[in-house]
Structure 1
Amino acid sequence: MAVEGCLSRPHSAAHLIAAYARLGDATTAESVLLAAASLPNISTWNALIVAHSRSDSPRQVLRLYRLLVSASHPRPDSSTLTVALKACAQLMDLRTGQEIVAHSSHLGYIHDVFVCSSVLNLYMKCGKMNHAAKLFDVMPKKDLVSWTTMITGFANAGNPVVAIGFYRRMLEEGLEGDGIVMVSLLQACAAFGDMAIGKSVHGHILRHHLQMNVVIGTSLVDMYAKNGFLKLAQFVFDRISCRNVVSWSALISGYAQNGLASEALQMLIKMQEFGLCPDSVALVSAILACSHIGFLKMGKSVHGFIVRRFEFDQILGTAVIDMYSKCGSLMSAHSVFDTVCSRDIISWNAMISSYGAHGHGNEALSVFLALLNQTKLKPDHATFASLLSAFSHSGLVEEGRHWFNLMTQEHNIEPNEKHYVCIVDLLARAGRVEEAYELIQSMSDGPGIAVWVALLSGCHNHKKLELGQHVAQKVIELNPDDLGIYSLVSNTFAAAKNWEKVAEVRKAMKTMGRRKVPGYSLVEIMGKLHAFLMEDRSHPQHEKIIDLLKRLDFEMKKMGYIPKTEFVFHDLDEEVKEKMLGNHSERLAIAFGLLNSSPGTRIVIIKNLRICGDCHEAIKYIAKIANREIVVRDVKRFHHFENGLCSCKDHWPDLILAISSWLHSTDSGHSLNQCIWKVKRREERMLLRMRKWKAISKGSADSQGCQISPRQLEVPMGNKFLIACNWLSLLGWRNTGHICISSYIIQHLSYFQSDLLRSDICRLVCLLRRFHVWTFERLVAQRVEVLGAFANVPSLPTARPIMLSWDS
Structure 2
Amino acid sequence: MDFAITPPPAKTVSAAMAISQFPENPKSLILHQCKTPRDLNQVHAHLIKTRLIFNPSIAENILESAALVLANSMEYAVSIFDKIAGPNSSAYNVMIRGFTYKQSPERAVALFEEMCQNSVQPDEFTFPCVLKACSRLGALSEGKQIHAQVLKLGFGLEGFVGNTLIHMYASCGGIHIAHKLFDRMPDRGVMTWNSMFAGYSRSGNWIEVTELFRKMLESGVQFDEVTMITVLTACARLADIELGKWVGDYIKANGLKRNPTLTTCLVDMYAKCGSLDLARILFDQMEQKDVVAWSAMISGYSQARKCKEALDLFHQMQAAEVDPNEVTVVSVLSSCAVLGALETGRWLHLFVKKRWVKLTVPLGTALVDFYAKCGMIDKAIEVFMEMRCKNVFSWTALIQGLASNGQGKRALDFFRQMQEENVPPNDVTFLGVLSACSHSGLVEEGRDFFVSMNRDFDIEPRMEHYGSMVDILGRAGRIEEAYQFINNMPIMPNTVIWRTLLASCRAHKNVVFGDESIKRIAEIEPLHSGDYILLSNLYASVGRLEDAMRVRSLIKEKGIKKAPGCSLVELDGVVHEFLSEDDSRSCSSEIYRATEDMINRIRSAGYVPNVEEVRLDVEEDDKEVSLSHHSEKLAIAFALIKTRPRTTIRISKNLRVCSDCHNAAKVISKVFDREIIVRDRNRFHHFKDGSCSCNDFW
| TM superposition score category, shorter chain reference | 0.7 to 0.9
1:465 to 507, 514, 519: 514
Within 5 Å, which residues of 2 pair with 1:418-457?
A: 419-436=465-482
Residue 106 of structure 1 is matched in structure 2 by 152
Residue 658 of structure 2 is matched in structure 1 by 612
- Cα offset, 1:424, TM superposition: 4.1
- Cα offset, 1:215, TM superposition: 0.8
Instruction: Report the secondary structure of 1:278's partner residue.
Output: coil
Residue 387 of structure 1 is matched in structure 2 by 433
Does the 8 Å CA contact 1:49/1:61 hold for their aligned counterparts? yes
- Cα offset, 1:27, TM superposition: 7.3
Does the 8 Å CA contact 2:505/2:514 hold for their aligned counterparts? yes
Residue 406 of structure 2 is matched in structure 1 by 359
Residue 301 of structure 1 is matched in structure 2 by 347
1:41 to 74, 78, 88: 88
Residue 717 of structure 1 is matched in structure 2 by none
Residue 84 of structure 1 is matched in structure 2 by 130
- Cα offset, 1:442, TM superposition: 6.2
Gaps of 5+ in 2: 1-46, 540-546
Instruction: Report the secondary structure of 1:78's partner residue.
Output: coil
Residue 237 of structure 1 is matched in structure 2 by 283
Residue 195 of structure 1 is matched in structure 2 by 241
Aligned residues: 633
Change (3 A) 1:588 1:21: same
CA distance in 2, matches of 1:651, 1:638: 11
Query: Are 2:191 and 1:142 aligned?
Result: no
Instruction: Report the secondary structure of 1:521's partner residue.
Output: strand
CA distance in 1, matches of 2:322, 2:569: 31
CA distance in 2, matches of 1:364, 1:59: 45
Residue 366 of structure 2 is matched in structure 1 by 319
CA distance in 2, matches of 1:2, 1:455: 90
Gaps of 5+ in 1: 478-484, 653-808
Instruction: Report the secondary structure of 2:401's partner residue.
Output: helix
2:377 to 310, 314, 330: 330
- Cα offset, 1:144, TM superposition: 1.7
Within 5 Å, which residues of 2 pair with 1:32-181?
A: 36=84, 38=86, 41-74=88-121, 76-126=122-172, 129-154=175-200, 163-171=209-217, 175-181=221-227
Change (3 A) 1:562 1:159: same
Instruction: Report the secondary structure of 2:125's partner residue.
Output: helix
Instruction: Report the secondary structure of 2:576's partner residue.
Output: strand
Amino acid at match of 2:517: G
Residue 23 of structure 2 is matched in structure 1 by none
Query: Are 2:423 and 1:378 aligned?
Result: yes
Does the 8 Å CA contact 1:457/1:488 hold for their aligned counterparts? no
- Cα offset, 1:112, TM superposition: 1.0
CA distance in 1, matches of 2:256, 2:348: 38
Instruction: Report the secondary structure of 1:390's partner residue.
Output: helix
CA distance in 2, matches of 1:244, 1:490: 52
1:257 to 277, 280, 303: 303
Residue 205 of structure 1 is matched in structure 2 by 251
Which deviates further from its counterpart, 269-278 or 328-337?
328-337
Does the 8 Å CA contact 1:187/1:223 hold for their aligned counterparts? yes
CA distance in 2, matches of 1:447, 1:601: 44
- Cα offset, 1:615, TM superposition: 2.9
Compute the RMSD of aligned alpha carbons. 4.4
CA distance in 2, matches of 1:15, 1:211: 42
Amino acid at match of 2:677: V
The CA deviation string for residues 149-207 of structure 1, in whole angstroms up to 9 with x for no partner, is 23444455556565445445545655432221111111111122111211111111111
Change (3 A) 1:36 1:305: closer
- Cα offset, 1:8, TM superposition: 4.5
Which deviates further from its counterpart, 182-191 or 312-321?
312-321
Amino acid at match of 1:111: L
Change (3 A) 1:112 1:433: farther
Within 5 Å, which residues of 2 pair with 1:637-656?
A: 637-651=683-697
Does the 8 Å CA contact 2:301/2:310 hold for their aligned counterparts? yes
Change (3 A) 1:320 1:312: farther
Instruction: Report the secondary structure of 2:682's partner residue.
Output: coil
Amino acid at match of 1:327: C
Does the 8 Å CA contact 1:456/1:472 hold for their aligned counterparts? no
Does the 8 Å CA contact 1:17/1:33 hold for their aligned counterparts? yes
Does the 8 Å CA contact 1:7/1:32 hold for their aligned counterparts? no
Change (3 A) 1:377 1:543: same
1:182 to 228, 235, 244: 228
- Cα offset, 1:520, TM superposition: 0.4
Does the 8 Å CA contact 2:499/2:517 hold for their aligned counterparts? no
2:337 to 291, 295, 298: 291
Which deviates further from its counterpart, 239-248 or 532-541?
532-541
The CA deviation string for residues 765-808 of structure 1, in whole angstroms up to 9 with x for no partner, is xxxxxxxxxxxxxxxxxxxxxxxxxxxxxxxxxxxxxxxxxxxx
- Cα offset, 1:549, TM superposition: 5.7
Residue 14 of structure 1 is matched in structure 2 by 60
CA distance in 2, matches of 1:370, 1:162: 40
Change (3 A) 1:489 1:569: farther
Within 5 Å, which residues of 2 pair with 1:475-554?
A: 476=525, 517-525=563-571, 528-540=574-586, 542-543=588-589, 552=599
CA distance in 2, matches of 1:577, 1:77: 90
The CA deviation string for residues 552-596 of structure 1, in whole angstroms up to 9 with x for no partner, is 38965994746273x679799988887765543222323334455
Change (3 A) 1:116 1:291: same
Residue 225 of structure 1 is matched in structure 2 by 271
Does the 8 Å CA contact 1:631/1:639 hold for their aligned counterparts? yes
CA distance in 1, matches of 2:243, 2:601: 61
- Cα offset, 1:607, TM superposition: 0.5
CA distance in 1, matches of 2:149, 2:258: 43
Change (3 A) 1:210 1:574: same
Change (3 A) 1:506 1:128: farther
- Cα offset, 1:649, TM superposition: 0.6
Does the 8 Å CA contact 2:676/2:688 hold for their aligned counterparts? yes
Change (3 A) 1:29 1:473: farther
Amino acid at match of 1:58: P
CA distance in 2, matches of 1:445, 1:15: 74
The CA deviation string for residues 408-455 of structure 1, in whole angstroms up to 9 with x for no partner, is 77x746464365554444334434355445556666777788767755
Amino acid at match of 2:333: I
Residue 775 of structure 1 is matched in structure 2 by none
Change (3 A) 1:186 1:642: same
- Cα offset, 1:280, TM superposition: 2.6
CA distance in 2, matches of 1:440, 1:553: 46
Within 5 Å, which residues of 2 pair with 1:605-684?
A: 605-624=651-670, 626-651=672-697
CA distance in 1, matches of 2:434, 2:678: 22
Residue 591 of structure 1 is matched in structure 2 by 637
CA distance in 2, matches of 1:103, 1:555: 86
Amino acid at match of 2:425: D
Does the 8 Å CA contact 1:619/1:641 hold for their aligned counterparts? yes
Could you tell me the percent identity over the aligned residues? 36
- Cα offset, 1:32, TM superposition: 6.0
The CA deviation string for residues 201-232 of structure 1, in whole angstroms up to 9 with x for no partner, is 11111112225322112112222223332222
The CA deviation string for residues 704-762 of structure 1, in whole angstroms up to 9 with x for no partner, is xxxxxxxxxxxxxxxxxxxxxxxxxxxxxxxxxxxxxxxxxxxxxxxxxxxxxxxxxxx
